[in-house]
Chains A and B, each alone.
Chain A
Amino acid sequence: EAQVTQNPRYLITVTGKKLTVTCSQNMNHEYMSWYRQDPGLGLRQIYYSMNVEVTDKGDVPEGYKVSRKEKRNFPLILESPSPNQTSLYFCASGLGEEKLFFGSGTQLSVL
């Protein structure tokens, strides 16, 4: 089954404790992206990757890192999480501008 898998589904952590949210897709998509969803703001792009070893900043990249060492995986790294990074995070993949497929989301709470 074609899917984008994110883990974990829920995460509660404390300020400053490094964390990684994993994202994996099984559709051989070149394009992958991370979004965060906040009430009243819709979804905003954090980082995206056009292919292996190619990443670029989206609209809200501050406080986040990503890596794309292999095609199927695109982890989101928070080196020193802060409470304003409490949000619902979505990973997406696609062949390009058409039809992005989204994961089920990761609800992160930073205390």
Chain B
Amino acid sequence: GEDVEQSLFLSVREGDSSVINCTYTDSSSTYLYWYKQEPGAGLQLLTYIFSNMDMKQDQRLTVLLNKKDKHLSLRIADTQTGDSAIYFCAESIRNQGGKLIFGQGTELSVKP
């Protein structure tokens, strides 16, 4: 069945790069997403990548997609304390009407 896996925690120092990893099982994914959830808030769409792309860059964010290994990563350059949050990887499944399969979320802690 469909499954998305993420590590639960990541801790980095301010100014370093953060890399959050995600693996998924369904090869029919159309889009893959990264959402950010700050404490007490809803989910904010950070970026997404179409399944036929390998890389997408958006300011400090770089998304890499390895379709062969079903591996997605989010790199945050020059990580700031304001980046501390939970990051969810999600995939949308072809022909399932917008349904997203979410990972468990990675809690990113940025230390000054």
Contacts and interface: CB of A to CB of B under 8 A. Distances in A.
Q: Do A and B bind each other?
A: yes
Interface of A: 31, 33, 35, 40-45, 48, 50, 56, 58, 90, 94, 96-105
A97 B42 contact: no
Contacts, number: 61
A104 B38 CA distance: 10
Given A33-B99, A94-B98, 6 more contacts: A42-B102, A58-B99, A97-B30, A102-B43, A102-B44, A104-B41
Given A56-B97, A96-B98, A97-B98, A105 B103 contact: no
Given A42-B4, A42-B88, A42-B105, A100 B97 contact: no
Interface of B: 4, 8, 30-31, 33, 35, 41-45, 48, 88, 90, 92, 94, 97-100, 102-105
Contacts of B103: 42
Nearest to B41: A104
Nearest to B98: A31
A48 B43 contact: no
Given A98-B31, A101-B45, A43 B98 contact: no
25 contacts: A31-B98, A40-B104, A42-B4, A42-B88, A42-B102, A42-B103, A43-B43, A45-B100, A48-B97, A50-B97, A56-B97, A58-B99, A90-B43, A94-B98, A96-B97, A97-B94, A98-B48, A98-B92, A99-B45, A100-B98, A101-B45, A102-B42, A104-B41, A104-B42, A105-B41
A27 to B, nearest CB: 13
Main DSSP-derived SS at the A contact region: strand
Q: Which 4 A-B pairs have the closest CB atoms?
A: A42-B102, A104-B42, A102-B43, A43-B102
A16 to B, nearest CB: 28
A93 B99 CA distance: 11
Contacts of A103: 42
B14 to A, nearest CB: 27
B99 A45 contact: yes
